[in-house]
Structure formats: structure tokens, C-alpha cells
Chains A and B, each alone.
Chain A
Amino acid sequence: MNNLDSKFGDFGGMYVPELLIPALDQLEQAFIDAQADPSFEKEFHGLLKDYAGRPTSMTLSQNLVSNPNVKLYLKREDLLHGGAHKTNQVLGQAILTKRMGKTEVIAETGAGQHGVATALACALMGLKCRIYMGAKDVERQAPNVFRMRLMGAEVIPVNSGSGTLKDAVNEAMRDWSANYDKAHYLLGTAAGPHPFPTIVREFHRMIGEETRAQIMEKEGRLPDAVVACVGGGSNAIGMFADFIDEPSVRLVGVEPAGKGIHTHEHGAAIGKGTKGILHGAFSYIMQDKDGQIEESYSVSAGLDYPAVGPQHAYLHDIGRAEYASVTDEEALNAFQILARKEGIIPALESAHALAHALNMAEEAEDGTIIVLNLSGRGDKDLAHVHSILGDK
């Protein structure tokens, strides 16, 4: 049986082949031991500070909100080494890999951001790294493939299924079930079977903790709302975790509405999905009436996933967090607004959260304070956005 709670209400769990249970139990134990071991804390926080650049700053936006009595802060995960929040939890799991005596790392990646983060952590720690990536994504994300290879990772294109993120996850799990003795599966988001959703949350929770300390210093009170984008949901749960027990703080997740949630081309698992099991967890997923998994879609590859982390499903069901959705068009608009008005080019993922936060700020009462988690920077998206917008 599990030492940590494996479920969030009915959500989560360990819906994997029996074969993988010992490996998941080993990981859970390694995580529990690490949390209780000051030397882990020292190593992890040392890397976060001296290698990755934590704490990240929090910037009060200057020109985004028309009402001068409403404040929109940006938590600057875009400034973290690697260009996004993902570096946090990858460093944590890489240390766990070594503590378990494993020498290899398996990972999946969609756009390549988790792949790049995994590759950098493995390069730093001398771990052998192989990354599954849908064949279509390998083509679409050539610069990230090159980054991963530069840092010594093997990138394996996945042709099965739709050739995108969910198929890369399938392939990584298949590899792991043959090689769990020496390889750790370094899952990239707060989804998948227990203990991943819990580990990934705990290794990102400094986002919310720093936000709390920074807002207390600047404003002397908690924010009225924190806002973050949700694909699998790792940056959002990292931002939310420290505020879940603060009922005065609204937790707002923003899913990708793609070409509109009334179409079939979106990735809003909470907004439009139904309950089911994908990749080891019971959560909201996109599926047909027979239970076949449907393709998700978003202009932002990092949000293009047909499920959501189980804790988000739970926070939604108990009414603690609220989940909105933002279309490609709205996200692209916010992407340009941040560049023009603040001189910051956000990741397309983060631009979804920004689009919603801007709407919230415009409708907010005087005195409202909102913190947006700017989860990553947009360098990786430049070619893609350029191809959509042209030279406008």
C-alpha cells in the first residue's frame, strides 16, 4: 500500500500495469526519504539558486492594465535557466534518480520544453538520457531537438498513434516497463500515476511560496487571485499549492480553447472533457463515447494534451479552483501585447494565462491584486508565431 495518499478525492490513482507498481513504490519511497533528508534539501535548493537562478523576480506590469488602481504582477518563471518553470522539478527528479541508484533517464516531450529541461539536468548530473518525441513534433520543433542533442540526449521520434505528445508518453511508459531496474521515468507534468502528480507539485511549489513572500513584501497582503495556464498543469499547481488553504485567494487555471471549445480542436480537458483514465490517472480527459482518447489541439504545443493533472480535476470538482479557456487567437493577441507594452516575449502557453488575466484585470474592482504566473519565455515560439502573423 502507499505511504502517501495516491488520490485526490476519486482522481489520480495508479492505473498502470502491475509490472510498474514496484518502480512507482520505489520512487514514492525515494521521494519520502529525500523530503526528510536535509542533504537533499541542500542539494536541490543549491541547484535552484546557483544553477537555475531562483528566486525568480516578480514584476509589476507598467502598461497592461487601464485602471491604475488594479495591479497585475508577473511571476517571472521565464527568467529561469532553461526558459521556463520546468527546470525546477526536473532538477528535483534528477537528484531522486541518483538517490535511487539509477543511471538512465527516460522522458517524453511535446514541444520539447520538458525534453530540453530534462536534457540539461541529465547533462549536469551525468545521467544517460533518452527522450521520446512524436515524429510530427520532431519536425515542428527542430531547434529544441537540436538543443536536446547538443546537451547529449538521445531523441527518439515516435511514429505510433498520432505522433504527438500522448504517443510519446505511451512510448516512454513502454520503455520504462522494460527498463525500470536502471532507468527512471522523468515525467514532465503534474499528471500520470501516483506519485508523479504529488512529486511534481512539491518540486514546483516554490513558485507559489516565493510569490507569497514577494507579494507580502511589496503589498503587505495576499493577492486576490493567482492565474496560470493549464495543459497537464505543472506550473499552475506549483503556483496554487501554497494558496490552496487561503480561501481569499482565487485560483484560476486557463486551458487552451484552440479554435474554440465548441469545435473539436481544443485542449480544454476540464472545460469540455469527461472523467476517464489516461496515462495512469483518473481525471478529466478528452475522449469519445466509447472511451477512445481524442486528439487535443492548441497553437501552444505545451498545452496540447488531452488530459489534465488529477489534482486540478479535484480542485475543479470541489470548487476551490476555477478553470477558464482562451483561444489561439486571444493567446496570440496577448503574446503581442506583452511584447509591445512591457518588452517581454512570453511563451505561448503563458500567453493563454495572460489573456485571461488581462480580462480579469479590466473587470476588477479598485484595489484588486492579481498575480500571473509567466511560466516561460517565448524564444521557442518565435518561428511559429512569425509564420502565423507574418511581418505585421
Chain B
Amino acid sequence: MQRYADMFSALSAKNQGAFVPFVMIGDPDKQTSFEIIKTLVESGADALELGFPFSDPIADGPTIQHASIRALDNGMTPTDCFDVIAQIREAYPSIPIGLLLYSNLVLAPGVNSFYQKAADAGVDSILIADVPLREADRFIEVANQHGIQQILIAPPNANDDTLKEIGEKSQGYTYLLGRAGVTGAETAATIPADELISKLTQYEVAPPLLGFGISKPEQVTAAIKAGAAGAISGSATVNIIAENLSDDTAMLAQLGQFVQQMKQATQR
């Protein structure tokens, strides 16, 4: 499982950061979701961050909550989500694919079984939104058994001990939170202080990708300039889906344009 490392070194050679869009698998439905994810890749996404719809997403603002509801209303199950991922993996063998989801979906089939299914579908990394470092060991252990990289979150309020532990345990990349609160494009990310970035370097955390409140190319440029390895944009991407539910052609065109603009902003 070298896809993240390969991606970062290839980008580094081109003097670029990574742009990683997030969408909810199955939003608005299984087939359209597959087309959406293909469009993201074809338009220049360096990696994918994909959500599993969940009934009670406590870390998400209204945009991603509604994406979950749309997918659940259309009957999306975790099995359907793994189907979509397997199709994407078949079409794009080298793009890093990360999951971002909630712990109860991982527990329901059994932690080991969930990671096995993820590995079989071609998943590279898993980030569990409601599993902090303190509860992460049992998941990391299973992840390692299945060749999956467990992604950890570095919040803006993290103390030195937390950053040090993330440095020891993080794999693939580190999800650097751009601000407090829940997901959403309504409140912009704060570009992290040099101090935090230099600490991340000092503790040798996996390359940090800045997320939460990233919706504009200028923010991508600023994040990379501040020392992030790239940026993740979820709610802004999902908003384009939500605003074009009645017109798939316009939705895919706008998504493509958005990803291209965000990707262009990753040039150092």
C-alpha cells in the first residue's frame, strides 16, 4: 500500500500539493455517485476521500448531513458503497482512496470484517471521525493486518503530546483540521500558524492535508504555502451536487470545473 507515498513523491517532483475532494458515496444515488467520482478523478483530483452515509453524523454540518440523508433515502448500504469503490478502483488502479466515516458502521459487521471488505474493494486509508487517538489502537492494529493506513486527525487545539502521538502512529497522511466546529463551507478554514506546521514536521507526522472549511482556490494556495501537503474540500464539492440534483449534466460539468480550479491552485 504505497499509493499515498507514491502520490506525494510524484507531486513533489512536479512541485505541486495534493487536491483531495470528498463526496458521500451514494449521493444522490449509487449510479450517479459513480459518475461523480469518475468526474472528480478525470478533472485532476490527486486522491479521493469518500464518505459512507450514516444516520447520526455528529462531526458534520448541514451540507454533509443532507448528503447522508439523500444517500440513505435512496437505500445505500455499506455493501453498495464497497461496490462503488471496487468499480472506481478497477477504473483507476493508482489513485489513493480514503474512507471517512463513523465508528458504528465499522463495528456493525465486526471491525475485522469491515477492514477486510475495505481492503478487498481497494481502499488505501480509513479515517473514523469519532475515533480519537485515545480509542484508535484497536483500529490501527486491525488496519495494519489488512494493509490499510489509519488516518489520524490533528486538530487546531492539539497539544504537544497529541501531536507527538500522531507522529508515532499516523500513516498515509494526517488530516489537519482547519478550524474548530463541524464540516461546512460556511465558515472558512484558518490557515494554520507556522508554529503548528513546524511542530508537525518536528514530530514527523505523515504529510498533513488541510480540511474543514476549504472551498476556494486561494485557500488551497495558502494552505500549501503555509506548509500543508495539500487540501481536502468536502462541503464545497457536495454543495455542487446538492444544487444540481435535477440536472446531472450540469452537476458533472460544474464539479469538473471546480476540481480543475482547485487543482490548479496546488502549484507551488
Contact = CB atoms under 8 A, between A and B. Distances in A.
Interface of A: 1-2, 6, 13-22, 160-161, 166-167, 170, 173-174, 177-180, 275-280, 285, 287, 289-293
13 contacts: A13-B135, A16-B58, A18-B132, A21-B134, A21-B162, A22-B157, A166-B56, A170-B56, A178-B182, A290-B78, A290-B109, A292-B55, A292-B72
A14 B134 CA distance: 8
A15 B77 CA distance: 22
Contacts of B130: 15-17, 277, 280
Interface stretch (B19-27, B43-51, B59-67, B196-204): B59-67
Contact of B155 (A15, A18, A276): A18
B116 to A, nearest CB: 16
Nearest to A6: B134
A133 to B, nearest CB: 17
B54 A292 contact: yes
B91 interface: no
A291 B158 contact: no
Interface in B93-113: 102-109
Given A19-B177, A22-B157, A177-B181, A278 B104 contact: yes
B131 A15 contact: yes
Contact of A287 (B61, B104, B135, B177): B104
Interface residues of B, number: 42
Most chain A Cβ neighbours within 10 Å, of B56, B72, B129, B182: B56
Contacts of B134: 1-2, 6, 14, 21
A14 B143 CA distance: 20
Given A177-B181, A291-B108, 10 more contacts: A13-B135, A15-B103, A15-B135, A19-B157, A19-B177, A20-B132, A161-B56, A174-B61, A178-B180, A179-B180
A170 B155 contact: no
Nearest to B105: A291
A7 to B, nearest CB: 10
Contacts of A179: 180
Nearest to A16: B130
B65 A21 contact: no
Nearest to B79: A290
Given A290-B77, A290-B108, A292-B55, A160 B62 contact: yes
B133 interface: yes
A17 B132 contact: yes
Given A289-B108, A290-B78, A174 B56 contact: no
Nearest to A2: B134
Contacts of A277: 102-104, 107, 130
- Top-10 shortest CB links A-B: A291-B108, A178-B181, A18-B132, A291-B104, A19-B155, A292-B55, A18-B153, A291-B105, A293-B55, A174-B182
A161 B153 contact: no
Contacts of B158: 18
A292 B81 CA distance: 14
Nearest to A292: B55
B159 interface: yes
Contact of B58 (A279, A285, A292): A279
Q: Is the interface of A mostly helix, strand, loop or mixed?
A: mixed
Contacts of A180: 180
A13 B181 CA distance: 21
B132 A275 contact: no
B59 A17 contact: yes
Contacts of A14: 132, 134-135
A20 B62 CA distance: 19
Most chain B Cβ neighbours within 10 Å, of A13, A15, A22, A287: A15
Contacts of A22: 157, 159
Given A17-B130, A18-B155, A178-B181, A293 B56 contact: yes
Nearest to B133: A18
Contacts of A18: 132-133, 152-155, 158, 162, 177
A230 B54 CA distance: 26
A173 B58 contact: yes
A14 B154 CA distance: 17
A16 B77 CA distance: 23
A161 B132 CA distance: 24
Nearest to A19: B155
Contact of A19 (B54, B62, B103, B180): B180
Contacts of B55: 161, 292-293
Contacts of B69: 161
Contact of B105 (A1, A178, A290): A290
A379 B4 CA distance: 61
B124 to A, nearest CB: 21
A293 B104 CA distance: 9
A4 B78 CA distance: 36
B129 to A, nearest CB: 6
A253 B102 CA distance: 30
Contact of B182 (A1, A16, A177): A177
Contact of A177 (B57, B59, B131, B133): B59
B166 to A, nearest CB: 9
B52 to A, nearest CB: 9
Contacts of A289: 108
